[in-house]
Homo-oligomer: A and B are copies of this chain.
Amino acid sequence: PDSLNPEAFPAKLWLLVNSPRFGSIRWDARGQGLLIDEQPFVSEVLGMGPAGDGGAGGLFKTKSFTSIIRQLNLYGFRKVVKELVVVPRSSAGPGPYGDGSPTWYLHHYYSPHFCRGRPDLLVHLKRLTSAKKAKLVANLELTSRPSGCSQQ
């Protein structure tokens, strides 16, 4: 009964994280979480950068990184506990962002329904609204046993 809306946030996120074109957003080492370099992402995807162009083809209408974070939370993503959020000079190599901006914020988010190589899980990424959350509480959600990434 569920299909993936290609226009909605999960599909856009999936597209970005799997595209080699966007170095600012990628999988973490285990493919179970999302890594985003804030300032490069703003330039590269949201189009606020030096190029001044529209960024990633107008994938998002916003130019605010906070709006991306709000979307992640609305879809149930959580921040990975701060083990290693240090931002050294070259976490992604010298890279294309390199010269004037040696440091930036590295964000690490995850969702049990967002894993590398598992596009079939995307249909479980639901936008959480007050109404839906009320329903979820009422139904107690039998089908949503927390699932690791590599199972099925």
Contact = CB atoms under 8 A, between A and B. Distances in A.
A148 interface: no
- Can you tell how many copies of this chain the complex includes? 3
A81 interface: yes
Nearest to A64: B105
Given A100-B100, A105-B63, A105-B64, A84 B15 contact: yes
A5 to B, nearest CB: 9
Contacts of A52: 102-103
A50 B104 CA distance: 10
Given A8-B81, A66-B66, A86 B54 contact: yes
Contacts of A39: 39, 48
10 contacts: A8-B81, A15-B84, A49-B100, A52-B102, A54-B86, A57-B84, A57-B86, A58-B86, A61-B61, A61-B62
Given A15-B84, A49-B100, A63-B105, 16 more contacts: A6-B81, A8-B82, A11-B81, A11-B83, A39-B39, A48-B104, A48-B105, A50-B99, A50-B101, A50-B102, A52-B102, A54-B86, A57-B85, A64-B105, A66-B66, A100-B100
